[in-house]
């Protein structure tokens, strides 16, 4: 990719979301697809013009100017302004018979993006569609990238996004901040989608490491955006930011040049990002204000312990107690499984096997991976049997390779199926 293309790609990621949000705020979410088309056309003009004349000194301002012109032309030409927008405008605006100009000031861009975040995270839309919309409208990801993130295809993603946008229209979802009395409840949905978006990157099944990291960074950006707005700068917002910072700090230490990833016990702590760890502690301290203890608080404290390079004796005991509390706040099979691993590290494999056998997560390859690990201490045959069940359930080549390596480490020949 040459310098010109790289600059355009960066600008598209940065400015696409801002421009779509501002246009949608002025003309309404019912015209969100038109807003996307206008912004896409603006970038096409930029690609053609800048190829001959070079990139202007202020490329963002150039894009905003072209977007304003294209928006006015479109709404005049299609009479959407006079037929649909005009009745909603004030009497004074109607007298001029001219649509209001797009406002690309910093504050309006910021407000528009925050309002778009709340609109996209309406409970009227399924979580998977919310994530797709967030990636497209709030993060500027292309359809190909979204399809890769979901291990899907363009046609499926386009249909999913179309249905989600149609829901925004038919339910007349407004691009505005919720009433103050509703912000706290709506914020839970917004934080959940950011959490899922981060998880999509951090635990991604795609081998595209750049895409994985971009997903995590975009989730962090959206979280920081919330923390900069007084009504959403709440302890649970800062707790989620702390959680993401701690996890993101170990991102590079988990990756290798091969498709495999490096397990926690094998990571080089020197590769952990000290700046992100410090940011994590900053947000964790902010999250301590008030009496609320959310699942994000507990997960952030667990992640914080994982970022301590020195192996303190109480480390795994503290993590175990935090998982015990997390199970009471937000039970899930994944939390129960992680709690069993913490029990193993804190109290040994004997207790962990007893607890693990109770879970009976028959369709979870991580469950059999943990059982395999536990049985390596007492019964090699059982260990291999569990690793083989994990292999059969694993969905990606990365996971399968990890399990192959586990079996090889036991010096036991396979039965030919692996």
What pLDDT score does 242 carry? 98
For residue 221, the number of C-alpha atoms closer than 13 Å in the C-beta half-sphere is: 17
Query: Is residue 55 a part of any domain in this protein?
Result: no
Query: Is residue 369 a part of any domain in this protein?
Result: yes
What pLDDT score does 258 carry? 53
Two tokens, residue 81: 């302004």
Give the Å distances, CA to CA, from 220 to 12, 23, 270: 19, 24, 23
Two tokens, residue 251: 């991102």
What pLDDT score does 417 carry? 46
The three-state secondary structure class of 393 is: helix
Query: Is residue 231 a part of any domain in this protein?
Result: no
Read off φ and ψ for residue 150, nearest 5 degrees: -95, 5
- Contact between 132 and 150 (Cβ < 8 Å): yes
Number of domains making up the chain: 1
What pLDDT score does 267 carry? 85
What CA–CA distance (Å, rounded) separates 234 from 330? 19
**Greatest CA span in the chain, whole angstroms?**
84
What pLDDT score does 256 carry? 61
pTM, two decimals, is: 0.85
Q: Which residues of 151-165 are buried (b: 16+ CB within 10 A; e: fewer)?
A: eeeeeebeebbeebb
C-alpha 152: how far from chain center: 17
What pLDDT score does 72 carry? 87
252: Cβ contacts below 8 Å, ≥ 6 apart: 271, 273
pLDDT in 10s for each residue of the chain, 418 residues = 566 677 777 888 889 999 999 999 988 888 899 999 999 999 999 989 988 888 899 999 999 999 999 998 887 777 655 565 555 554 444 443 455 789 999 999 999 999 999 999 888 888 888 999 999 999 988 898 888 888 789 999 999 999 999 999 999 888 888 888 888 888 999 999 999 899 988 887 666 777 788 889 999 999 999 999 999 999 999 999 999 999 999 988 887 655 556 778 778 888 999 999 999 999 999 999 988 899 999 999 999 999 987 767 689 999 999 999 999 998 999 999 999 999 999 999 999 999 999 999 999 999 999 999 999 999 999 999 999 999 999 877 778 888 998 899 886 554 544 4
Query: Is residue 230 a part of any domain in this protein?
Result: no
CB atoms within 10 A of CB 38: 22
154: Cβ contacts below 8 Å, ≥ 6 apart: 143, 144, 147
The three-state secondary structure class of 173 is: coil
What CA–CA distance (Å, rounded) separates 138 from 157? 16
Query: Is residue 60 a part of any domain in this protein?
Result: no
User: In 3-state terms, the chain is what percent helix, strand and coil (to 5)?
Assistant: 75, 0, 25
For residue 214, the number of C-alpha atoms closer than 13 Å in the C-beta half-sphere is: 20
Query: Is residue 403 a part of any domain in this protein?
Result: yes
Q: Nearest CA to 31 among 18, 45, 21, 40?
A: 21
What CA–CA distance (Å, rounded) separates 259 from 243? 25
Q: Which domain holds residue 394?
A: 361-418
Q: Nearest CA to 249 among 274, 229, 228?
A: 274
DSSP letter at 125 equals S
What CA–CA distance (Å, rounded) separates 319 from 342? 6
Query: Is residue 235 a part of any domain in this protein?
Result: no
The three-state secondary structure class of 11 is: helix
Query: Is residue 82 a part of any domain in this protein?
Result: no
């Amino acid at each position: 990719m040459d310098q010109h293309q790289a600059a355009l790609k960066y600008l598209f990621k940065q400015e696409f979301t801002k421009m779509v949000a501002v246009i949608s705020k002025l003309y309404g979410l019912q015209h969100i697809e038109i807003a996307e088309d206008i912004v896409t056309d603006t970038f096409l003009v930029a690609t053609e013009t800048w190829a001959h004349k070079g990139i202007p000194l202020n490329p963002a301002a150039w894009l905003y100017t072209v977007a304003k012109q294209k928006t006015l032309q479109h709404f005049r030409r299609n009479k959407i302004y006079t037929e649909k927008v005009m009745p909603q405008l004030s009497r004074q605006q109607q007298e001029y018979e001219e649509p209001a100009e797009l406002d690309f000031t910093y504050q309006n861009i910021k407000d528009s993006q925050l309002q778009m975040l709340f609109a996209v995270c309406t409970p009227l839309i399924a979580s998977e569609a919310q994530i797709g919309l967030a990636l497209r409208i709030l993060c500027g990801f292309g359809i190909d990238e979204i399809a890769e993130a979901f291990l899907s295809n363009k046609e499926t993603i386009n249909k999913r996004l179309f249905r989600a946008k149609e829901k925004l229209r038919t339910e007349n979802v407004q691009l505005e901040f919720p009433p103050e009395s509703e912000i706290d409840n709506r914020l839970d949905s917004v934080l959940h989608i950011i959490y899922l978006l981060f998880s999509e990157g951090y635990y991604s099944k795609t081998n595209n490491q750049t895409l994985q990291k971009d997903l995590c960074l975009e989730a962090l950006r959206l979280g920081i955006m919330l923390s900069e707005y007084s009504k959403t700068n709440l302890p649970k917002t800062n707790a989620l930011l702390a959680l993401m910072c701690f996890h993101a700090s170990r991102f590079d230490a988990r990756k290798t040049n091969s498709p495999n990833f490096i397990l926690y016990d094998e990571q080089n702590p020197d590769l952990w990002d000290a700046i992100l760890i410090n940011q994590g502690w900053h947000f964790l301290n902010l999250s301590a204000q008030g009496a609320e203890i959310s699942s994000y608080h507990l997960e952030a404290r667990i992640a914080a312990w994982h970022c301590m390079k020195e192996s303190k004796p109480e480390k795994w005991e503290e993590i175990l107690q935090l998982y015990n509390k997390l199970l009471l706040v937000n039970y899930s099979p994944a939390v129960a499984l992680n709690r069993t691993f913490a029990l193993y590290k804190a109290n040994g494999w004997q207790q962990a096997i007893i607890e693990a056998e109770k879970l009976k997560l028959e369709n979870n390859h991580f469950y059999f991976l943990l059982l395999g690990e536990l049985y390596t201490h007492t019964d090699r045959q059982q260990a291999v049997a569990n690793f083989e069940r994990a292999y059969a359930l694993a969905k990606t080549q990365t996971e399968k390779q990890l399990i192959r390596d586990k079996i090889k480490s036991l010096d036991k020949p396979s039965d030919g199926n692996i």
